[in-house]
Amino acid sequence: MPDQAARRPGLVATIAWRIVFFAIIAMAAQVVIVFADYYFDNSELGSLMIERESTLLARGVSAQDGRWTFRLPEGIEGYDPGSATRLARIRAVDGGIIFSNCGTQCLLHLLPEEVDPPDRWTRLLGQGKPIAVAGGRSVWIDGKQIIIEIAILDRNEAVMWRALGHEFADHLAIPMLLQLVLVLGGSLVSTWLALRPVKAAARQAGSIDPLDPEHRIDVSEMPREVAELGAAVNRSLARIGRLMRDQRLFTTAVAHEIRTPLAMMQLELGQIDSPRARRMERDVESLARLVGQITALGRLEAIERKGFQPVDLAGLGRSVVASVGPWVYDHAHSIAFCESAAMSIQGDGGLLEDALTNLITNAVTHTPAGTKIEVCAGPGPRIAVIDKAGLYRPGDCDKSPMARAGDSLGVGLEIVKRIAAIHGGTFAISVDPAIGTMAVLNFPSSPTQGASRHP
């Protein structure tokens, strides 16, 4: 499931592609509208042609030492002297001719030289396409005014398409692209900023500790719509937490109520001198141990980390060995305690005692009589239970200890793993032929406690 989520496109990428897609549709629609508006309006299109061609011709006009000069700019075809299809006349306001490529044709299509022309004028010379148009406008160059007059008599539409292309580029494509970049960039940045708290919430959700019922997703920095989803998730977590607490309470209460009848059964069976009674006594003892483990599970899941206190691992190990020693010797095993520069940790002494007791009980139960068991504290924030038999083999109970009902070894190891996890530590089992089976609990160092020394 996480891999499938990782392969899905991100929200930012999805928004970007959709903005670009709809922007392209909008640009295409606007191009069609603008094209239809200009193409079918010959008068407006003729004015655009005159304006564009006069602008190109104005690039070749310059004033040197008070005299006007003209040089035909590159890229403008058809305005050579003697042209019969594109006529041009450039003159100063005082009437002096700067450039002209027409003779009598100028008299036919352009204004007389003695007429003071308006700043801008256009006249269609025919109907339909291709457009034949004459016109002119005044242009200021180096602070002086000149008049450029043009007549276009082409049978092709090159000038018209050039004017339309310029109009699209200057008044449509560039503004639309600029707007697209700003809208796209603003949308992506805004979306990315809005999703930052959502990503943080996803990381929080991925790191929720199932052993901490008070863990919640922080929705304080989220947008309102996403914050509502986060609040709903928090309410679901709260309901699940209450359900789990009620279930643990019920299970623990049932297990606690069963312990007393089991203890009385053990007392009664001890008064019966029969091999069958001994077999039943062993079964009752196993059942009592399972009930104790269920009670321990309910207890460890109800613990709160804020109540942790410094725990001396050496003192803890010595106390557990002293309390379970008689039971170990009754089962024809031996037990010893050793220490090597053990440190103190922050934790719950009762839970840690349960973990050690479970490991010692498993070592006694699953090894032959006469096996030597050692509880070693240290070095550092570490405590281990070692049995010299070395018979442990990783199996199903190690991979999924709670999957097999009735597997007392699995339940015991699961309890130990959960106790280690609550304390921020790790639990591992290994087998060394020279040492035996080693069940090791490693914890983080306490920030306030150093190594403890014992004689």
Q: What are the tokens at 119?
A: 């700043």
Residue 169 gets which letter from DSSP? I
Tell whether pTM > 0.85: no
| CATH superfamily for domain 306-442 | Histidine kinase-like ATPase, C-terminal domain (3.30.565.10)
Give 446's Cβ-side CA count (13 Å radius). Answer: 20
Helix, strand, coil fractions of the chain, as percent rounded to 5: 50, 20, 30
What is the C-alpha to C-alpha distance for residues 444 and 311, in angstroms, rounded to an integer?
12
Q: Where along the chain do its domains lie? A: 10-38+167-200, 41-156, 210-302, 306-442
Residues 230, 46: contact at Cβ < 8 Å? no
Residue 20 has, within 13 A of its CA and on its CB side, a CA count of 9
Query: Cβ contacts of residue 246 below 8 Å, gap of 6+?
Result: none
On whether the 210-302 domain is CATH 1.10.10, my answer is no
Distance CA 144, CA 138 (A): 10
Instruction: Look at residue 333 and give its three-state secondary structure.
Output: coil
Which CATH code for domain 41-156? 3.30.450.140
In a 3-state reduction of DSSP, which class is residue 409? helix
DSSP 237: H
Cα–Cα distance for residue pair 47/124, rounded to 1 Å: 9
Encode the chain (455 residues) as per-residue pLDDT tens digits: 445 555 667 767 787 788 888 888 888 888 888 777 777 878 888 888 888 888 888 888 888 777 888 888 887 778 888 777 888 888 888 778 888 888 777 878 888 877 778 888 888 888 888 888 889 998 888 888 888 898 888 877 778 888 888 877 777 777 777 777 888 788 888 878 877 777 777 777 777 766 566 677 777 777 777 778 778 888 887 887 777 777 767 766 776 677 778 778 877 777 788 888 778 877 777 777 777 766 766 666 666 666 788 899 999 999 999 999 998 998 899 999 999 888 889 888 888 888 898 899 888 888 888 899 999 998 999 999 999 887 877 654 444 433 343 444 567 788 888 888 888 889 999 888 888 899 999 998 765 444 444 43
Q: Which helix (H) or strand (E) holds 269?
A: helix 224-270
Instruction: Please tell me the distance from the alpha carbon of residue 153 to that of residue 101, in angstroms, as a whole number.
Output: 14
Instruction: Report d(CA 34, CA 282) in Å as an integer.
Output: 95
